[in-house]
Amino acid sequence: MPDDMTTKAGEGKPVPAAPQTGAAALRPAATTPGGRPEPRTTATADGPPGPGAAPAAQDLGMLIAENSFTSAPKRDPELVRRILEDPRMHEHRDGFQSCIQCGICTSGCPAARFTEYSPREIARRGLEGDESLLTDDSLWYCYYCYTCQSRCPRHNSVAVINQVVRGLQVEMGTGRRHVEMFGQWCANFYDKGMGGNPHLLFPHVSDAWGEKWVAFMDRLLEVREKLDLGALYPPQTVVAEVQTIMDETGFGDRLAAVRGEGPSADGGDSIPAPR
């Protein structure tokens, strides 16, 4: 009798042994006496495993082979939960949980071509709840072109995962240095309903975009008047509406924290509670 078969009490009939999990689940499947592979089974919340049952979400991390050469990362199920429950992941939850690590996201990623950023690794570590994501600078190389999302056969979106994890980094404090440069732009948006001219806030933009850009921006109001485009900034009634929305959603407190002001500026070591 094969090693993976047992005898059912009282009947003497061979039946499949209990399913394996973790690294053992990655071994070749056992076969029936007829030579066909036994279907894998996974326990569900409602009862024992059934043939062909899909793996439970909390067990998906176990389906990824462990690295034999390095120690396992510190894992936090709260990180997985926060990614799954974020509204931006609404269209991608199933894809996130069924990532097959094919690497097609990384093969087409412009950022991965020139930096150490790897969308495939971000997807895997997010699914594992790898806490090192909360201090990883590489995911800030992603600039949301969504190539990964458009190419993924499972309809996952690493770009959206990055948005969630970046937000957590900012709330914890580890990612604030990546966004603090936009603090004044955000303050202008609150005051005037528009952030302002990039080259005035970020001098290096002038060097990158050249003299023609600077000359155009210097004549922007004149050009808009000739084209009859109206005022550059929205009317005060619109600005007041924008400010109401920002006040109700805690924009001021968040901006103060990003700029290193206020009681929550120091962040913390754990994932903050949802707002």
pLDDT, one tens digit for every residue, the chain (275 residues):
555 454 444 445 554 454 444 444 434 444 445 554 444 443 444 444 444 444 444 444 444 555 555 666 678 899 999 999 999 999 999 999 999 999 999 999 999 999 999 999 999 999 999 999 999 999 999 999 999 999 999 999 999 999 999 999 988 889 989 988 888 888 888 999 888 777 677 777 778 888 888 888 889 889 999 999 988 889 999 999 999 999 999 998 888 888 777 655 555 555 656 55
pLDDT value, residue 272: 59
Q: Which amino acid is at 17?
A: A
pLDDT for 71 equals 66
Instruction: Report the SS3 class of residue 66.
Output: coil
Amino acid at 46: D
In sequence order, the 6+-apart residues with CB closer than 8 A to the CB of 199 are 205, 206, 209, 213, 214, 217
All domains of the chain, ordered by start, with CATH?
Answer: 77-175 (1.10.1060), 178-258 (no CATH)
Helices (H), 74-210: 77-85, 93-97, 104-107, 110-114, 119-128, 147-151, 158-172, 183-192, 198-201, 203-209
State the pLDDT at residue 266: 52
- Cβ(42)–Cβ(59) under 8 Å? yes
Q: Residue 25: its pLDDT value, please? A: 40
Strand partners, 6: 15
DSSP letter at 19? P
Distance between CA atoms of residues 275 and 267, nearest Å: 14
